[in-house]
Amino acid sequence: MDDIVIPDEDLWSFLFERPGGQSDREQAIFVEEVTGRRYSWEDSRRLSLAFADFLYRHWGWCKGDVLAIVAGNTIDIPCCLWGTLFLGGVACPLNPEYKEGELTPLLRRTAAKGIITQAAFYPTVAATAKAAGIPLDRIMVLDDTQSTQHWMLASEEILCSDRPDRLQDLLAKRQASLPHSGDLAFLMHSSGTTGLPKGVMLSHRNVIANLLQTAAVDAVNGPDGPDRTVSLLPFFHIYGITFLINYTLFQSWPTYLLPRFQVEAFCDLVERERITSVYIVPPILKRLLQSSYATRAKLQSVRLLTSGAAPVSKELLQAFDAKFGIPVRQGYGMTECSPLLYLQTREEARTHVGTVGRLVPNMRCRIDLEDTSPVPDAQAEEGEIYVSGPNVFMGYWNPPSHSHASSADSPLTQDNFYPTGDIGYQDPVTGHMVLTGRAKDLIKYSGFQLAPAELEGVVLQHEAVADAAVVGVDTGAGDGSEVPRAYVVLKDQCIDLGGLEKELQDEIADFVAKRVSGYKKLRGGVVFVKEIPRNAGGKILRRVLLDS
């Protein structure tokens, strides 16, 4: 696919100031199913400006200040993101299910100047804010619209057409701190292999590039008219931010927000609103396939499903298409790449089942063949995937300097390629990529990444545990999901359990569950072993544990 031109501007300018960028400014872009609220393109622009006005006047916002967003999916999140970026601020979405022990170090490390949350998460957020040194008056509760710490009340004057001076003052503030395309826009978090999640720095240019790269692939699908989609992905994840917030506004696609995926609610919405395109994670495919409520008739308006975050088996993809007559295209990416790297067209979803598509425009790839061997029956060799392009991140957040890593610690190679940690091979003729494994230790569960080292640190806090290793165990569902299992060496005094092994295993699993987010629970169980296998350098040999 030919390379594309990426404009040298910030994300706000790209989305809201493009000449002819929005033909119908009053068309609903975001619709919240639970409340019935809906925001048009113009509503989104005005409310984003109001949020920026609040940050400027009430929190003294400056360029580079970090806003932490600890909330579930709501129609107001996009406006908070865009309002922050308008002033040159940095948006830092965090998983609202994080426990206090998980959230506190992240807030400290990001040096967040304020927090956006919801009433359901306020107790945890308030406790972590105090521990991180953030004043309570720097917390805004989105669903408390009567509070003076809410932008719709505190900055409602800027929404009134009879106060042009207020808007001009805000525009002058933006000009004084105008963000550039290379400035930091989003501080995302991706599970590293050595403990706390890493802060992934994405610039305005990174995000804009990925929107245009995606649009170039979608243009191949043909002139079917504007799509209508459903928001099923979390807004704290780059998959949701790129495709369900920024891309839908860029393409003027009406997007219907569901608070969570339920088969019946999803099918009813698709049928009623004539939904045409849906971004999903693999477990949703399986639930729809297994449900008797989901029928071809209810989903007949859907032209395409796009699956990401984890690979899907060829058998599951073919079974889904056979039941519903809907092609499921796969994509491949990661937080560090904004996130998209490879993507199938709608036609390729059927002609190249089992691949993740071809490189998006402006990208380069190479396969590191070290410690690998030729792929049987293929004119390609598998190895670790290295990528380079305009959507590849700036680096990892590196406090206290608040800048990307130094050249000595850079995650990129000397020729600016990023090692993805994934193993695959690329067809030398068609360019289609097939993923075959991972070089990194990360566990993927329902589209989330889990760091074994983080869970091992929690397991080791239990008084009976002397040593531990956590590995991912394939669920066998064909949807790419793994569940974490802990292999535990007990302290000497706990070895003779007298038939109470199961009770202690359950106790350790419960101990972990109380200290981590729900998706990090030890769903693979706890297994007692005599020792944790390690190599000469002390690295855990996880494959040995699985094979045993």
Whether 139 and 285 share a structural domain: no
Domain membership of residue 3 (yes or no) is no
Q: Tokens 């790297």 belong to which residue?
A: 341
In degrees and rounded to multiples of 5, residue 450 shows phi and psi of -120, 135
Domain membership of residue 15 (yes or no) is no
Whether 449 and 430 share a structural domain: no
Calculate the alpha carbon distances from 228 to 12, 30, 32, 257 in Å: 23, 10, 14, 12
Contact 132, 112 (CB under 8 A): yes
Residue 175: give its domain's CATH number: 3.40.50.980
Domain membership of residue 232 (yes or no) is yes
Query: Among residues 259, 234, 246, 244, which one has the least CA distance to residue 93?
Result: 234
Its domain, for residue 452, covers 442-547
Q: What is the tens place of the pLDDT at every residue in 276-326?
A: 999 998 888 888 998 999 999 999 999 999 998 777 878 889 999 999 999
Residue 331: give its domain's CATH number: 3.40.50.12780
In angstroms, the CA 396 to CA 69 distance is 19
Whether 370 and 498 share a structural domain: no
In degrees and rounded to multiples of 5, residue 254 shows phi and psi of -60, 130
Helix (H, G, I), strand (E, B) or coil at 461: coil
Name residues of the chain where pLDDT drops below 50.
Answer: 371-378, 400-408, 537
Q: Tokens 């609610």 belong to which residue?
A: 265
Kind and range of the H or E element at 473? strand 465-474
Give the per-residue pLDDT at 538.
58
Whether 169 and 247 share a structural domain: no
Residue 507: give its domain's CATH number: 3.30.300.30
What 8-state DSSP symbol labels residue 16?
H
In angstroms, the CA 312 to CA 407 distance is 36
Angle between helices 41-58 and 164-176 (to 10 degrees): 70
Residue 5: partners with Cβ closer than 8 Å, 6 or more residues away:
none
Per the structure, the count of domains in the chain is 3
Give the per-residue pLDDT at 84.
97
Among 179, 194, 213, give the residue marking a domain's end: 179
Among 410, 437, 464, give the residue marking a domain's end: 437
Whether 454 and 432 share a structural domain: no
Residue 151: partners with Cβ closer than 8 Å, 6 or more residues away:
50, 51, 53, 54, 55, 83, 140
Give the per-residue pLDDT at 147.
72
Contact 65, 52 (CB under 8 A): no
Give the per-residue pLDDT at 443.
84
Give the per-residue pLDDT at 399.
52
